[in-house]
Structure 1
Amino acid sequence: MNALVHQLLPERAADALPAADGLDRALRDASPAEVVAAALHTVGREHLAVVSSFGTESAALLKVMADVDPAIPVIFLDTGWLFEETLAYRDTLIATLGLRDVRSIKPLEDTLSQQDPDRELWFSDPDACCRIRKVEPLARALAPFSAWINGRKRFQGGVRAAIAVVEDDGARLKFNPFANVSREQIQAIYATANLPPHPLAALGYLSVGCMPCTSRTSPDEDARAGRWRGRAKTECGIHTARTS
């Protein structure tokens, strides 16, 4: 374990998780790798998960995580509406980075048949669609874990502009290793590690989610402008709802 991580972390009682605000103060200037290592040190591998969409910027976080410990569990939400390119990209990154424990989580078939039998919920009620296809499956997947890691960045704007490096989401610790990195730093990780890009990035999809709610963006738009275009909605809900 990196000695710097031990220096950064606050003291804690045995078998007790430190408070999120104390961890955030200790890690607010730490590198992404140090934040991942600190999360691993704080709760242990069996209690830590990375949540990844395997989207257009996901490889950077997964690379950093794999360099710390490629056996940290990775949760991938297979909503039933993903692009085939995203599913293929998941498999490419698993092989490229040597990820050892990627868990593809799907919504419950009973829930889909009852609440979205015609697969039109994304149009009539996108919040409900995200709830049954993302929020609820993630809550089930995270149930065994004490902490999770995600790839949100402040430069993405909106409600993400002021995220902390470490949060308490109401159920567990939430680590945001890339909170204060720049887009240029992410690009540098891709270049240095020769990471493959998401297949749809070259086609103008700068942020990729489910097919019906994702569109191309123009060079003068924010990267997430293509998500839920034309609606007030900007988040799927997994970062704005309790995860238990």
Structure 2
Amino acid sequence: MSLAAGIDPIAELEHELAGASPVEIIAAAQRAVRPGKLCVVSSFGTEAAALLAYVAEVDPTIPVVFLDTGWLFEETLAYRDDIAGRLGLTDVRSIRPDPAALAAQDADKDLWFSDPDACCRIRKVEPLARALGGFDAWLNGRKRYHGGGRAAIPVVERDGARLKFNPLANADREEVEGVYERLGLPRHPMAANGFASVGCMPCTSRTQSGEDIRAGRWRGQGKTECGIHTMALKG
């Protein structure tokens, strides 16, 4: 990546990767930061294995950060272990919320109902910020074809003190689906039961025919994101 005077290196990298494949984007992310300072954040949800397969193709030792919120389905936890083993991922880190924060702010475990944004903050946003403290950049699985606020995501962007790469930004649904077929990867166990997108138990529901892929997340609450992609992560 050129650092010519007057040229924003992030904008230049975005330009270089505008039409790049997922593997090319992941490889470029590795080159852009110091050795060992890149990670991938994965929910091990219904489409997560596609990004992880591309990561494994580039370097299966890239750390995988998994947010175990305390509200995940047992099927998701089992799927995490299955996919990590199949792809040969060697460094999957399960990150949990701060017990003191849970005791102080969600002792009755009903914060998801009274204040879902606060629940996401203490169970996802804050733990991820701490986990990213030792990294210069991270990869995530957002896709433009999900629509909404994700329809125009760039391939690379600044996220507070770090870079955030979106390797599947350019991919369409057919490409993502093709990864499962090409590698014979299993689907998330809940996908066959109508769950197009899987997050925490209290805030995940089945998606009806014709609905947006993320319609089952925070249904009826006017909320579409947990916060890890809508605010700069400090840590």
- Give the TM-score, by structure 2 length: 0.96
Q: What code does the residue aligned with 2:110 have?
A: E
Gaps of 5+ in 2: none
**Contact kept in structure 2, 1:50 and 1:73, CA below 8 Å:** yes
Q: How does 1:53-68 map to 2 (within 5 A)?
A: 53-68=43-58
- SS at structure 1 position matched to 2:78: helix
Q: Which residue of 2 aligns with 1:153?
A: 143
Q: What code does the residue aligned with 1:239 have?
A: H
Q: Does 1:197 align with 2:187?
A: yes
Counterpart of 2:197 (choices 204, 207, 210) is: 207
Q: Does 1:73 align with 2:26?
A: no
Counterpart of 1:183 (choices 173, 187, 209) is: 173
Q: CA deviation at 1:180?
A: 1.6
Q: Percent identity?
A: 64
Alpha carbon RMSD of aligned pairs, Å?
1.1
Counterpart of 2:17 (choices 27, 52, 63) is: 27
CA distance in 2, matches of 1:228, 1:20: 33
Q: What code does the residue aligned with 2:203 have?
A: C
Q: CA deviation at 1:86?
A: 0.2
Q: CA deviation at 1:12?
A: 4.0
CA distance in 2, matches of 1:194, 1:33: 19
Gaps of 5+ in 1: 1-9
- SS at structure 2 position matched to 1:226: coil
**Contact kept in structure 1, 2:154 and 2:169, CA below 8 Å:** yes
CA distance in 1, matches of 2:18, 2:69: 33
Q: CA deviation at 1:45?
A: 4.0
Kindly provide the CA deviation profile for residues 4-24 of structure 1, in whole angstroms up to 9, marking residues without a partner as x: xxxxxx2249xxxx7321111
Q: How many residues align?
A: 231
Q: CA deviation at 1:219?
A: 1.8
Kindly provide the CA deviation profile for residues 191-228 of structure 1, in whole angstroms up to 9, marking residues without a partner as x: 01111100000000000000000000112111100000
- Give the TM-score, by structure 1 length: 0.93
**Contact kept in structure 1, 2:69 and 2:123, CA below 8 Å:** yes
